[in-house]
Amino acid sequence: MNKHLLWYQLLKHERMQRGWSQADLADNIGGDLKTIQRWERGHYQPQPHYRQRLIALFGKSADEWGWTEHIRK
């Protein structure tokens, strides 16, 4: 994995690696399609509860995502 990807590029990469649509990802984390679209364009960052869901879903740490704030398990 290229460590130079920004968090939203990594999100799209991980989603596409699994063959998921943006709607599939939204369903998997309990979000909505518009939110996923905004994230993947880098317009908004996920709130902490969605960050936790993304960490669990994709098996990547907050550090791997480039999120520096602490996230409780």
Instruction: Assign residue 36 the CATH number of its domain.
Output: 1.10.260.40
Inter-CA distances, 27 with 30, 36, 73, Å = 5, 10, 21
Tokens at residue 62, please?
Answer: 């907050």
- Half-sphere exposure of 48 toward its Cβ, with a 13 Å CA cutoff? 6
Number of separate domains in the chain: 1
Residue 71 has pLDDT above 80, yes or no: no
Contact 7, 68 (CB under 8 A): no
Does 19 map to a domain? yes
Residue 43 forms part of a structural domain:
yes
What per-residue confidence (pLDDT) applies to 62?
94
Instruction: Please indicate, yes or no, if residue 72 is contained in any of the structural domains.
Output: no
Give the pLDDT confidence score for residue 4 in this predicted structure.
81
Q: What is the mean pLDDT of residues 17-35?
A: 97
Contact (Cβ atoms closer than 8 angstroms) between residue 40 and residue 12: yes
Over residues 19-43, mean pLDDT: 97
pTM of the full predicted structure?
0.85
Residues across the chain:
73
Assess if residue 18 is contained within a domain: yes
Q: Which domain holds residue 30?
A: 7-65
Does residue 71 sit within a domain? Answer: no
pLDDT category at 69 given cuts 50, 70, 90 is: low
